[in-house]
Amino acid sequence: MELQVRLIQFLFLLTILQHSSSARILRIDKPDWHDVAASARWLVSQNIWGVLSTLSIEHQGAPFGNVVSFSDGLPGEGKGIPYFYLTTLDPTTRNALKDSRASFTMSESPIGTCKMDPMDPTCSKLTLTGKLLPLDEGSEEEKVAKKALFTKHPEMMDWPKEHDFRVFKLEIVNIFLINWYGGAKSTTVDEYLRYKS
């Protein structure tokens, strides 16, 4: 009997540990692959980090990818626009302030629903291309974005004040999604932003 209790306790602990990193996300089932806008929005709402690529000042315009955390809204209320909390101590921020062209890339792999290799077309991947722009401090959008970021990434609230973090957004101009066989799927920015789950 004691063993049973211990096993149950262990299982419980294991479950907590498994879900601790995703507790800030409202889990939504993967949409049908035919629904391109839904699939793209799902990847953005279910991921908490991705790779933000800018044009490197240090490396003469080479593309520079950097791991960053992001949020597109409160859990379950994302609007599809990725917001970031960046400091000019980071080359990505300095690059973007010089040339705002950027892309933001996410994989389905961290969500845990891929059954195949991360590069298999059934393991979705999304690249949003656009402009990485700082939000006006004190603006309405900055307040909303900050709340979205701090809710999914509470640690951000404790990041050093002297590092001068600011809120940026990716203004999306193109959506590149692969979520099934047959090459990139087509959707417009308008369809993507208008999508409601």
Task: List Cβ neighbours of 133 (8 Å cut-off, separation of 6 or more).
Answer: 96, 100, 168, 169, 170, 171
Q: Which stretch binds a second copy (CB under 8 A): 28-36, 123-131, 137-145, 188-196?
A: 123-131
Contact 186, 178 (CB under 8 A): no
Positions in 130-159 near a second copy (CB under 8 A): 153, 155-156
Q: Does 5 bind a second copy (CB under 8 A)?
A: no
CA-wise closest residue to 106 among 183, 190, 45: 45
One symbol per residue from 160 to 189: x for binding a second copy (CB under 8 A), - otherwise; what is it? Answer: -------------xx-x------x------
**DSSP state string for 28-83:** -PPPPTT-HHHHHHHHHHH-SEEEEEEE-TTTTT-EEEEEEE-BSSSTT---S--E
Minimum CB separation of residue 75 from a second copy in Å reads 15
Q: Does 67 bind a second copy (CB under 8 A)?
A: yes
Q: Does 12 bind a second copy (CB under 8 A)?
A: no
Minimum CB separation of residue 107 from a second copy in Å reads 4
Binding residue (CB under 8 A) for a second copy from 45, 46, 71, 103 = 103
CA distances from 35 to 152, 178, 191 (A): 26, 12, 11
Q: Does 102 bind a second copy (CB under 8 A)?
A: yes
Q: Which stretch binds a second copy (CB under 8 A): 29-37, 110-118, 135-143, 186-194?
A: 110-118
In terms of residues, how long is the chain?
Answer: 197
Q: Which of 16/89 has CB closer to a second copy?
A: 89
CA distances from 117 to 66, 122, 152, 185 (A): 22, 9, 27, 19
Integer Cα distance of 100 and 80 in angstroms: 19
Chain positions contacting a second copy, by CB under 8 A: 3-4, 7-8, 10-11, 14, 21, 48-56, 58-59, 61-69, 85, 89, 91, 101-107, 109-110, 114, 116-120, 125, 127, 129, 153, 155-156, 173-174, 176, 183
